[in-house]
Structure 1
Amino acid sequence: MNNEEKIPLFSSNGYGDVDQGNDNSSSESSGSFRVPFYGTVTSSQFGIPLRPIPVEERITYSWNSINVFADTATAESRNFCLCCCSNGEYENLQKKHLVKNVNGVARPGELLAILGSSGAGKTTLLNALTFRSSKNISVTGTRCVNGNPVHSTALTSISAYVQQADMFIGTLTVREHLTFQALVRMDRHLKYDQRIARVEEVISEMSLNKCENTCIGVPGRLKGLSGGEQKRLSFASEMLTNPSLMFCDEPTSGLDSFMALNVVQILKQMAHTGKTVICTIHQPSSELYAMFDKLLLMAEGRIAFLGTPEEADIFFRELDAPCPKNYNPADYFIQLLAIVPDNEESCRHAVNMICDKYERSLTGMEVTLESSTKVGDFLKNTETELWLNGTSNGRKSPYKASWCAQFRAVLWRSWLSILKEPLLVRVRLLQTILVSLILGSIYYGQVVNQDGVMNINGVLFIFLTNLTFQNVFAVINVFSAELPLFLREHKNGMYRTDVYFLGKTIAEIPFFVFLPLVFISICYFLIGLNSEMPRFFVACGIVVLVANAATSFGYLISCLSSSVSMALSIGPPLIMPFLLFGGFFLNIDSIPIYFEWLSYFSWFKYGNEALLINQWQNMTDIQCDENSRNCPRNGHVVLEMYNFKEDDFFLDIYAMVGLILFFRLAAFFVLLRRTYKDQ
Structure 2
Amino acid sequence: MGPSGAGKSSLLNAISGYRKSGVEGTMHLNRKASCYITQEDHHQPLLSVEELMHIACQLKVKGKANYEETITDVLSNLNLNHRRNVTADRLSGGERKRLSIALEMVANPSIFFLDEPTSGLDEVTAATCVRLFRDLAKQGRTVVCTIHQPSASIFALFDHIYVIARGSCVFQGSPKAVVPFLSHVHIECPRHYNPADFIIEVCDSESNDVIQTLSEAMQNGKAICTKLQLPSAIASTSTLEEEPSSLEPMTDFVIKPTVTSMILEQQRPKVSTLVQKMKQITRFFHSPHAVSGFVQFWVLFRLMWTKTMRNRTVLWIQLVHHIICAIFIGLIFLNAANDGARMFDHLKFCLGVCFFFCYTQVMVPILAYPREVKLVKKECFNRWYGLFPYYLALTLSRLPVQIFLNVIFTMLVYWLAGLPAEFFRYALFTVVGLIVSLCAEGFGLMIGATFNVMNGSAIGPLTIAPFLGLAIYGFDFAPQIPAIML
- What interval of TM-score do these two structures reach, taking the shorter chain for normalisation? 0.7 to 0.9
Q: 1:382-401 maps to which residues of 2 (within 5 A)?
A: 395=283, 396-401=286-291
Give the match for residue 438 of structure 1. Answer: 328
Q: 1:287-366 maps to which residues of 2 (within 5 A)?
A: 287-319=153-185, 321=187, 323-336=189-202, 338-341=203-206, 344-348=207-211, 350-352=213-215, 354-355=217-218, 359=223, 363-366=246-249
- For residues 330 and 436 of structure 1, do their structure 2 counterparts lie closer, same or farther at Cα, with a shift above 3 Å needed? same
Please state how far the C-alpha of 1:463 moved relative to its aligned partner: 2.5
Matched letter for residue 524 of structure 1 = Y
Over residues 467-515 of structure 1, what are the superposed CA-to-partner deviations in whole Å (9 max), with x where a residue is unaligned?
A: 2222222233455443333222222222222222212112111122111
Give the match for residue 56 of structure 1. Answer: none
2-side partners of 1:412 and 1:308: how far apart? 48
| Secondary structure class of the residue paired with 2:191 | coil
| Secondary structure class of the residue paired with 1:368 | coil
Q: 1:471-486 maps to which residues of 2 (within 5 A)?
A: 471-477=361-367, 479-486=369-376
Over residues 534-578 of structure 1, what are the superposed CA-to-partner deviations in whole Å (9 max), with x where a residue is unaligned?
A: 43334333333333333344344445x422333332333333344
1-side partners of 2:88 and 2:172: how far apart? 38
- For residues 364 and 417 of structure 1, do their structure 2 counterparts lie closer, same or farther at Cα, with a shift above 3 Å needed? farther
Matched letter for residue 308 of structure 1 = S
Q: 1:226-265 maps to which residues of 2 (within 5 A)?
A: 226-265=92-131
Match of 2:39 among 133, 151, 164: 164
Q: Contact 1:289–1:330 (CA<8 Å) still a contact in 2?
A: yes
Please state how far the C-alpha of 1:247 moved relative to its aligned partner: 2.1
Give the match for residue 142 of structure 2. Answer: 276
Match of 2:452 among 537, 548, 563: 563
Over residues 269-327 of structure 1, what are the superposed CA-to-partner deviations in whole Å (9 max), with x where a residue is unaligned?
A: 11221222222222111111222222333344444443333444444455554543322
| Secondary structure class of the residue paired with 1:143 | coil
Give the match for residue 22 of structure 1. Answer: none
Matched letter for residue 112 of structure 2 = M
1-side partners of 2:8 and 2:465: how far apart? 49
Runs of at least 5 residues in structure 2 that lack an aligned partner in the other structure: 229-244, 270-275
Please state how far the C-alpha of 1:429 moved relative to its aligned partner: 0.7
Give the match for residue 80 of structure 1. Answer: none
Give the match for residue 386 of structure 2. Answer: 496
| Secondary structure class of the residue paired with 1:306 | strand
Give the match for residue 135 of structure 1. Answer: 21
Q: 1:607-626 maps to which residues of 2 (within 5 A)?
A: none
Matched, 1:118 2:1: no
Runs of at least 5 residues in structure 1 that lack an aligned partner in the other structure: 1-114, 146-153, 218-223, 383-388, 599-679
Over residues 444-469 of structure 1, what are the superposed CA-to-partner deviations in whole Å (9 max), with x where a residue is unaligned?
A: 45683456666555434433332222
2-side partners of 1:133 and 1:577: how far apart? 35
Give the match for residue 579 of structure 1. Answer: 468
Please state how far the C-alpha of 1:432 moved relative to its aligned partner: 0.9
Q: Contact 1:471–1:550 (CA<8 Å) still a contact in 2?
A: yes
Matched, 1:200 2:95: no
Give TM-score, length-normalised by structure 2. Answer: 0.80
- For residues 345 and 434 of structure 1, do their structure 2 counterparts lie closer, same or farther at Cα, with a shift above 3 Å needed? closer
Please state how far the C-alpha of 1:435 moved relative to its aligned partner: 1.8
Q: 1:420-435 maps to which residues of 2 (within 5 A)?
A: 420-422=310-312, 424-435=314-325
Q: 1:144-223 maps to which residues of 2 (within 5 A)?
A: 144-145=29-30, 154-155=31-32, 158-186=33-61, 188-189=62-63, 191=64, 194-217=66-89
Give TM-score, length-normalised by structure 1. Answer: 0.59
2-side partners of 1:554 and 1:356: how far apart? 51
Please state how far the C-alpha of 1:235 moved relative to its aligned partner: 1.5
- For residues 230 and 376 of structure 1, do their structure 2 counterparts lie closer, same or farther at Cα, with a shift above 3 Å needed? farther
Structure showing greater Rg: 1
Match of 2:410 among 490, 512, 520: 520
Aligned residues between the structures = 452
Over residues 151-176 of structure 1, what are the superposed CA-to-partner deviations in whole Å (9 max), with x where a residue is unaligned?
A: xxx35xx1222222222333333333
Matched, 1:368 2:251: yes
Q: Contact 1:476–1:567 (CA<8 Å) still a contact in 2?
A: yes
Give the match for residue 466 of structure 1. Answer: 356
2-side partners of 1:590 and 1:239: how far apart? 59
Please state how far the C-alpha of 1:261 moved relative to its aligned partner: 0.8
Larger mean Cα displacement after TM superposition, 453-462 or 432-441? 453-462
Cα RMSD (Å) of the superposition?
3.4
Q: Contact 1:305–1:364 (CA<8 Å) still a contact in 2?
A: no
Matched letter for residue 368 of structure 1 = T
2-side partners of 1:447 and 1:374: how far apart? 84
| Secondary structure class of the residue paired with 1:139 | coil
Percent identity between matched residues is: 27
